A and B are shown apart, each in its own frame.
Chain A
C-alpha cells in the first residue's frame, strides 16, 4: 500500500519538474533591451543619471571626440595612420557609409537611388577634397543635411579610421600619372566579376585564366 503511494508520488515528480523548467528558462531578470513592467517607459535598459561619467568615458581628449580645436575643425589625425587603421577604415566605411556614398565615395550608393530627394555629394569634389579631417568627423558625429548622425553606430576611433580611408579614396580617385611609381602598369586592369554581389557581399572576382577562351574551330 505504502509502496503504491510512493509510486504515485514518483509519478507526479515529472510534472513538478516540468513546472520548474519554464521558470528557469525565463528568469525574472533584465535581459539586454528587454521589456520591463517596472519602469514607466517599459525599458529595462536605463540611461545613466545626468552628469554621471562612466569609467573610461571621460572625454578629456576633446579633439579625439569632436574633431575640433576650439570651434574650428582641425586637420590632423589624433593617432598615427597605419595599414591596420586604413583596413579598419575601409571595413567600417563599407558597412556604414557605402550604402549611400558608394564604395568609391562618388555618392552613387544604392540606397539614395531608391528614392532620396538627392544623392550625397562626391568626396572627390573640390570642396570636400579641401575639407579638413575634423570636418568629416563633425559630419559623422552630428550629421549634415539629410544625412543623420552616426554617433551611436560608429565609435570615435572607427570614425577616425573611416576618415583616414576617405582621404585614401580621395587620393586614389584624384591620382595622376605623376603619382605612379616607375615600372608600375597604368591603368591597373579592371577586375572581372563572376557574378554580382548579394549586396552584403562583394562580387566574386573571376579567376584570371591563363589561356583565353579557345576560338570556335573552323
Chain B
C-alpha cells in the first residue's frame, strides 16, 4: 500500500536540495553576527564613571592626544592619564561641576578612577602602540574620528581580519609621521596633495610605497606571520 502520494518524492528532493541553502544561510548568518557590533561592540559607547568627551577636549579645546596619553610614542601602552592630569586644568575650571565630582573625589582620596576599557584586544594578541605610531599609522586610522566622539567607543572591530587588512597592504594606510596625531589629516588627493620631503603626493599608494621605504616597514610576508602578533 502506498502511504505517501507520489508528489512527496518531489518535495523530499526539493527539501534535500534546499537544505544546502539553509545550511549555507546559517553559516552566513553566523559569520555576520560574529562581525556585527553585537559581538565586537564597535560603535557602542560604554558607561564610564565620568562622561568624558574626547570631542570637547580634542576638537573644542585643541589638546593634543599626547597631553594625556603620554606613553603612546615610547611604549606598548598609550597610557590612561592619572587623575592629576585631569586636575591640571580642573583644579581651576569647572571646580564645582557635579559631573566632575568623581574626579575630585579620586584626587582627594588617592583612589583610582575605574574606567571601562573600550579598545580591548584579546590577551593572546601582542600589540605595541609605539611601533605603529613611529611607522606612520595615524591615531584615527584605528581609533576613528575620536575628535567627533562625545562618548568613547571602539571604531574598529578589532578582529584579526581587520588587523590583517592593514598588515597585508600597509601602503594603503600609512601617512607621514608628523601627521600621525592630526585628527583632520586627509589622505592625498589630486586637489589636496600631501607633502613629504619636499615632494607633493596626490596618490596614497605612491605615498605609502615611499613611506614604507623611508620608515623601513617590513614586507607583508614578515608582518603577517602568526608570531608577529601571537607571540
Interface positions of A (Cβ within 8 A of B): 24-27, 29, 31-35, 41-43, 94-96, 99, 110-112, 114-117, 146, 148, 152-153, 197-201
Once A24-B123, A99-B67, A148-B88 are accepted as A-B contacts, the answer to whether A116 and B93 lie under 8 Å apart by CB is yes
- Measured CB to CB, the closest approach of chain A to B226, in angstroms, equals 15
> What is the interface residue range for chain B against chain A?
35 or more
Bound Cα distance from A116 to B67, whole angstroms = 19
Residues of B within 8 A of A32 (CB): 76-77, 79
* Number of residue pairs A-B, CB distance < 8 angstroms: 90
- Judge if B114 is at the interface, Cβ distance under 8 Å: yes
- Tell me whether A153 and B111 are in contact (CB under 8 A): no
Partner of A199 from B63, B84, B111, B114 at Cβ < 8 Å: B63
Chain B residues positioned under 8 Å from A27 (CB to CB): 123-124
B62 A31 Cβ-Cβ under 8 A: no
Measured CB to CB, the closest approach of chain A to B211, in angstroms, equals: 19
Please tell me if the beta carbons of A198 and B92 are within 8 angstroms of each other in the complex.
Answer: no
- Contact partners of A110 in chain B: CB under 8 A: 61-62
Contact with A along B99-136 (1 / 0, CB 8 A): 00000000000111010010000111000000000000
Decide: A153 and B93 in contact? CB cutoff 8 A: no
Task: Report how far A94 CA is from B65 CA in the complex, Å.
Answer: 12
Does A201 lie within 8 Å of B67, measured CB to CB?
no
CA–CA, A198 and B63, complex, Å: 10
Q: Which residues of B come within 8 Å of A, CB atoms?
A: 58-67, 70, 76-77, 79-80, 82, 84-85, 87-89, 91-94, 110-112, 114, 117, 122-124, 147, 181-184
| CB of B129 to closest CB in A, whole Å | 11
Q: Are A199 and B112 in contact (CB under 8 A)?
A: no
> Within 8 Å CB of B70, what residues of A?
152-153
In the complex, which of the residues B65, B80, B87, B122 contacts A200, with contact meaning CB atoms closer than 8 Å?
B65
| Cβ 8 A contact of B91, one of A146, A153, A200 | A146
In the docked arrangement, what's the CA distance between A148 and B87, Å?
9
**Beyond A42-B112, A99-B67, A148-B84, 12 additional pairs, beta carbon < 8 A:** A24-B124, A26-B123, A29-B123, A32-B79, A110-B61, A111-B89, A114-B61, A116-B92, A197-B184, A198-B58, A199-B62, A200-B65
| Known contacts A25-B123, A33-B80: A99-B61 contact under CB 8 Å | yes
Sample of 27 A–B contacts (CB below 8 Å): A24-B123, A24-B124, A33-B77, A33-B79, A33-B80, A35-B114, A41-B110, A43-B112, A95-B64, A99-B67, A111-B61, A112-B92, A115-B94, A117-B92, A146-B92, A148-B84, A148-B88, A152-B70, A152-B84, A153-B85, A198-B184, A199-B58, A199-B59, A199-B60, A200-B147, A200-B183, A201-B182
Alpha-carbon distance A116/B60, docked complex (angstroms):
17
Which residues of the partner chain A approach B59 to less than 8 Å between Cβ atoms? Answer: 198-200
A153 to B184: give the CA distance in the assembly, Å.
25
When the two chains form the complex, which single residue of A43, A116, A148, A200 contacts B64, counting CB atoms closer than 8 Å? Answer: A200
In the complex, A152→B111 CA distance in Å?
A: 18
Residue pair B123, A41 in contact (C-beta under 8 Å) = no
Query: What's the Cα separation between A198 and B183 when bound, in Å?
Result: 8
B102 CB to nearest chain A CB (Å): 15
Given the complex, which residues of A lie within 8 Å of B61, measured CB to CB?
99, 110-111, 114, 199
- Rounded to whole angstroms, the CA-CA distance of A25 and B124 in the bound complex is 6
Query: Which one of A43, A94, A96, A201 lies within 8 Å of B183 (CB-CB)?
Result: A201
- In the complex the two chains form, what is the Cα distance from A33 to B184 in whole Å? 30
A198 to B56, CA, bound (A): 11
Contact present for A25 and B122 (CB under 8 Å): yes
CA distance A42 to B63 in the complex (A): 30
**Chain B: minimal CB distance from A40 (Å):** 11
Contact, CB under 8 Å: A200 / B62 = yes
Question: Which residues on B sit within 8 Å (CB–CB) of A201?
Answer: 182-184
